[in-house]
Structure 1
């Protein structure tokens, strides 16, 4: 995720130097504090701090913790790969480890308070609407089926239906808008229009681009990193599935208790 954050922002010349050094010496963050690392890179400590804050971290310590976790996970996974030389047996044996990796990465992104609030919103809503397209649409279709099965009204759209939102009470609706990249313009526009109608909107999105998240009332994060193998589309689908199943399972048992 850190590499993708770096690739997603415009860097100054000094920040490019920092990025290049991290790429050449990937263990440096594990070994040095901010002042020591800045001296090695030949930049000032405040420049290094501004760089990590630009990536969305509170400070160097926060960056160091996340970097260490990602580096450890990368080292564990670097030999677990599926490629053109892999046999069917290799695929059978390797996929569970890759799936487990995706779930762990997603788990690290979860914020308990966000799930508590979202589940309470879902219990209060008379209707839950999902907005997604392409590969994400099948995931929300599955979630709708599960929710309707446990007595919660849910439906999904692949684009905004203006006639529909013009004729509903916004207090009755909770909307989820899904975009793994966070910058799918159709989904961003849908979230914006829903918010204009005073409908509460929850984003299910990656952390790389904040565009969708900034429009919504709440965000649940998925692992949208593209470094996973095999195809990352299948794997961020797993991440979305995991998030949706957390919601559905929690709702089932809350309703069961009632």
Structure 2
């Protein structure tokens, strides 16, 4: 059994569930605090599905049955409620912004946990190996995605990897015109819906290159045309909060990948230290 909260697992895996499973998942997420009053048959009746669908859903998450899932969710709700109550009690004695900061920090932690759950260590290792072996790396992202893309491209370059960043689809397509076998492109796109990036991805793969997509944990065109995918799970109903959670979870995921590259190839650390020192001398002679 995964040590993470069942609610975190359900939210993280929701986008890959069947239609009936999503209905069960949404009900559990929206009514977790009331779940103790529902038997598997009552839940099935409320959703107009079979009781066996509820049981199979529970077992797919790794539980023996619905009672075990319900008990685990109840424990999770009680745990989070205790944490929130403690945070609120502390907030009464502190500045209002302290309570706001604490709440945001907890939501970021949840997003990072969800994201870690859906990116298996073996997958991160495979992506790190693909990047390390690439003759050339191209990193791209449009709009706000380009900020994270440019930052990560810089860090890859500091490791001594042949890496360039492009934030314009035309320049990106031109840069990839001479792509070689096993060149790798990392494509940043939160929702994975940009047709131009999807077309460039298809073109690169046709030349023998590899594509790594970095998107939300949803079915999207960029992910469909990628050899490997990094996935971000960050959810909040508040429009001002959800982008903050996405960026925080994405940054943590990229940090883990960066460290994997450092650990996998010791010589990369030599390049990193030399390049950081060179930049320090340029910026602070």
Please, what TM-score do these two structures have when normalized by structure 1?
0.72
Q: 1:181 aligns with which of 191, 197, 205?
A: 191
Residues 1:106 and 2:115 aligned together: yes
Mapped partners of 1:78, 1:184: distance in 2: 39
Spell out, residue by residue over 1:44-82, the C-alpha distance to the aligned partner (whole angstroms, 9 max, x if none).
2466689x6xxxx994657976x949x74975787889x
Q: CA deviation at 1:159?
A: 3.8
Other-structure match for 1:26 = 32
Other-structure match for 1:43 = 49
Q: CA deviation at 1:254?
A: 2.6
Question: Aligned to 1:180, what secondary structure does the other structure show?
Answer: coil
* Rg (Cα) greater in structure: 2
Q: 2:232 aligns with which of 211, 219, 222?
A: 222
Residues 1:128 and 2:137 aligned together: yes
After superposition, the Cα gap between the structure-2 partners of 1:195 and 1:7, relative to the gap in structure 1 and judged at 3 Å, is closer
Please tell me whether the aligned partners of residues 212 and 230 of structure 2 are also in contact (alpha carbons under 8 angstroms).
yes
Please tell me whether the aligned partners of residues 135 and 237 of structure 1 are also in contact (alpha carbons under 8 angstroms).
no
Q: CA deviation at 1:182?
A: 3.0
Question: Aligned to 1:204, what secondary structure does the other structure show?
Answer: strand
Spell out, residue by residue over 1:65-107, the C-alpha distance to the aligned partner (whole angstroms, 9 max, x if none).
6x949x74975787889xxxx9444444444333323322222
Other-structure match for 1:167 = 178
Mapped partners of 1:241, 1:20: distance in 2: 27
Question: Aligned to 2:32, what secondary structure does the other structure show?
Answer: coil
Q: Which has the higher helix share?
A: 2
Q: CA deviation at 1:251?
A: 1.3
Q: CA deviation at 1:236?
A: 0.9
Other-structure match for 2:263 = 253
Q: CA deviation at 1:34?
A: 5.8
For structure 1, the 5+ residue unaligned runs are none
Question: Aligned to 1:198, what secondary structure does the other structure show?
Answer: coil
CA RMSD across the alignment: 4.3
After superposition, the Cα gap between the structure-2 partners of 1:93 and 1:127, relative to the gap in structure 1 and judged at 3 Å, is same
